[in-house]
């Protein structure tokens, strides 16, 4: 028979002793009482559990519990939002917050956040105004759309369009376009939430115009085109474009809605090279409504933008759900400043980080990589840094088939495994994410602006040092 042993909890120091010791501990001294007590309690609970399940040799000292509490607090703080140096080369990294804002957008946001602002007040006549109207006008002017509605994100824009234009009726979508983005956005679910009935047409790889045409009945309200922005069906595949779908829709008195997602705004060499459709092209091709994100290729804050005719957009604004999905003043501030940069194409490409990263040339990337490698060799003698060619990714559900040649630095750390180095870098301040391939770390310069290089060098140096 096994001997039941009752744990001796008295071996654990009391909370009074622990708080006393914490007041003399450099790591914990400045901690507010609430979180400190919680962390100490959790550490004590962990020790109690250990006493129940296995033999703990020797004394359980206050110092050991303080160490555990300090680790608990560190882990807790690591979950708050904090800047990350993105050396992965994935430009629109959803896990890292997609687009980085332009300096002028950050400045506008900070100024508006610090005090009151004219969010819903017209300062020239002191009358009430609609929030976001200025940004909506900017988008209309830039794209030629009649009206715009800006909401929380593209999923919200799509939901509102479906509710307002197709509730209780059928929407035709090609099977090849039933997308899932990042696990949380599924078109069939959004369709259901919008009260519309999904009518799938064609097959995954082939859908013909006649498939749409044959599916039209008196229950049909809309033909929807979804830009397959995070994957491409390549090879033996085809499906009609926006122009053909719009003509078909109009010939039958239906509405044509283009869920563009990625949101490349204006026609530009950059998008031509990537074969990426733009908002302007979609409108020209005859789409009645176009929806896209603010924080993908547009390079602004998280937002969803729906373009269409004035009368319908005004009607969609009346949906109570639009109130629930409206955007906040900080987003509006950042979006206005971002859109203002588009008045000058060259300036937009330079100052909007997403566009700057997408358009940086291989020569510039190689020169920056060579220079960083030289600094790293000086800062970390003995370690080897090799500049090599590789490929970056647009990411974030954008430009899947556009290879972006880049320059990376390859590094095989001497003293640690790459997994250990990656862990140390993630937990540093600032945190650093890089690309790992087999047993090599890759630092992709495309997503690291020059201002971040000194901090990156420091982070790499301290990650490679033994404690």
Footprint of ligand PLP (CB under 6 A): 153-155, 179, 181, 185, 226-227, 229, 259, 261-262, 293, 304, 397
CB of 339 to ligand PLP, least distance (A): 16
Going by C-alpha positions, the residue among 410, 413, 409 that lies closest to residue 445 is 409
Task: Show the DSSP H helices in 306-351 as ranges.
Answer: 310-317, 320-324, 329-341, 345-351
Q: What share of the chain is helix, strand, coil (3-state, %, to 5)?
A: 45, 20, 35
Cα(166)–Cα(164) distance, rounded to whole angstroms? 6
| SS3 assignment for 28-86 | CCCCCHHHHHHHHHHHHHHHHHHHHHCCCCCCCCHHHHHHHHHHHHHHHHCCCCCCEEE
Q: Give the nearer residue to ligand PLP in terms of CB position, either 25 or 259.
A: 259
Q: Give the nearer residue to ligand PLP in terms of CB position, either 65 or 226.
A: 226
Q: How many CB atoms lie within 10 A of CB 336?
A: 21
Cα(386)–Cα(374) distance, rounded to whole angstroms? 10
CB of 418 to ligand PLP, least distance (A): 31
CB distance 173 to 199 below 8 Å: yes
DSSP assignment string, 148-166: EEEES-HHHHHHHHHHHHH
Q: Give the nearer residue to ligand PLP in terms of CB position, either 88 or 398.
A: 398
CB of 304 to ligand PLP, least distance (A): 5
CB of 297 to ligand PLP, least distance (A): 10
CB of 391 to ligand PLP, least distance (A): 21
Cα(144)–Cα(126) distance, rounded to whole angstroms? 29
Q: Give the nearer residue to ligand PLP in terms of CB position, either 182 or 403.
A: 182
Q: Give the nearer residue to ligand PLP in terms of CB position, either 164 or 396.
A: 396
Tokens of 159: 């939901």
Q: Give the nearer residue to ligand PLP in terms of CB position, either 94 or 247.
A: 94
Q: Give the nearer residue to ligand PLP in terms of CB position, either 13 or 263.
A: 263
- HSE-CB at 203 with a 13 A cutoff on CA atoms is 5
Q: Give the nearer residue to ligand PLP in terms of CB position, either 93 or 227.
A: 227
CB of 182 to ligand PLP, least distance (A): 8
The radius of gyration computed from the CA coordinates of the chain, to the nearest angstrom, equals 27
Residue 466 CA: distances (Å) to CA of 135, 226, 331, 385, 415:
51, 51, 43, 19, 8
CB of 263 to ligand PLP, least distance (A): 8
Cα(46)–Cα(415) distance, rounded to whole angstroms? 32
Q: Which residues contact 241 (CB under 8 A, 6 or more apart)?
A: 225, 285
Q: Give the nearer residue to ligand PLP in terms of CB position, either 300 or 397.
A: 397
CB of 162 to ligand PLP, least distance (A): 12
CB of 229 to ligand PLP, least distance (A): 4
CB of 239 to ligand PLP, least distance (A): 14
Strands (E), 104-227: 147-151, 170-174, 180-181, 185-186, 197-201, 220-226
Cα(447)–Cα(1) distance, rounded to whole angstroms? 63
Q: Give the nearer residue to ligand PLP in terms of CB position, either 187 or 380.
A: 187
- Nearest residue to ligand PLP, scored by beta-carbon proximity: 261
């Amino acid at each position: 028979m096994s001997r039941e042993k009752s744990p001796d909890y008295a071996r654990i120091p009391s909370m009074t002793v622990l708080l006393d010791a914490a007041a003399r501990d450099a790591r914990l001294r400045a901690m507010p009482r609430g979180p400190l007590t919680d962390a100490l309690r959790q550490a004590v609970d962990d020790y109690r559990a250990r006493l129940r399940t296995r033999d703990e040799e020797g004394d359980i000292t206050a110092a050991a519990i303080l160490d555990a509490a300090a680790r608990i607090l560190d882990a807790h703080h690591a979950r708050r939002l904090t800047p990350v140096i993105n050396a992965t080369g994935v430009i629109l990294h959803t896990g890292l917050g997609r687009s980085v804002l332009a300096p002028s957008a950050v400045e506008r946001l900070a100024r508006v956040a610090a005090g009151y602002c004219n969010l819903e007040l017209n300062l020239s006549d002191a009358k009430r105004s609609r929030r976001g109207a200025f940004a909506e006008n900017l988008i209309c002017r830039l794209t030629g759309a009649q009206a715009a509605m800006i909401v929380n994100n593209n999923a919200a824009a799509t939901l509102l369009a479906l509710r307002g234009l197709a509730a209780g009726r059928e929407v035709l979508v090609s099977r090849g376009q039933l997308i899932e983005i990042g696990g949380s956005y599924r078109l069939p679910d959004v369709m259901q939430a919008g009260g519309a009935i999904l009518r799938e047409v064609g097959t995954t790889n082939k859908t013909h115009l006649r498939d749409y045409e044959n599916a039209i009945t008196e229950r049909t309200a809309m033909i929807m085109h979804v830009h397959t922005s995070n994957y491409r069906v390549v090879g033996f595949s085809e499906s009609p474009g926006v122009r053909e779908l719009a003509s078909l829709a109009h010939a039958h008195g239906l509405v044509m809605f283009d869920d563009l997602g990625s949101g490349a705004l204006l026609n530009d060499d950059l998008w031509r090279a990537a074969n990426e459709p733009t908002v302007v092209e979609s409108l020209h091709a005859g789409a009645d409504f176009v929806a896209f994100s603010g924080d993908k290729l547009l390079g602004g804050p998280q937002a969803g933008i729906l373009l269409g005719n004035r009368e319908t957009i005004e009607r969609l604004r009346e949906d109570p759900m639009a109130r629930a999905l409206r955007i906040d003043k900080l987003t509006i501030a950042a979006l206005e400043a971002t859109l203002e940069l588009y008045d000058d194409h060259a300036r937009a490409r330079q100052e909007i980080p997403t566009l700057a990263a997408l358009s940086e040339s291989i020569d510039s990337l190689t020169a920056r990589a060579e220079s960083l490698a030289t600094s790293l060799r000086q800062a970390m003698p003995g370690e080897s840094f090799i500049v090599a060619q590789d490929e970056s990714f647009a990411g974030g559900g954008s430009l899947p088939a556009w290879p972006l040649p880049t320059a990376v630095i390859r590094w095989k750390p001497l003293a640690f495994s790459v997994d250990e180095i990656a862990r140390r870098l993630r937990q540093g301040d600032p945190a650093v994410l890089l690309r790992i391939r087999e047993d090599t770390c890759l630092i992709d310069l495309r997503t690291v602006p020059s201002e971040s290089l000194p901090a990156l060098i420091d982070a790499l140096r301290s990650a490679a040092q033994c404690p």
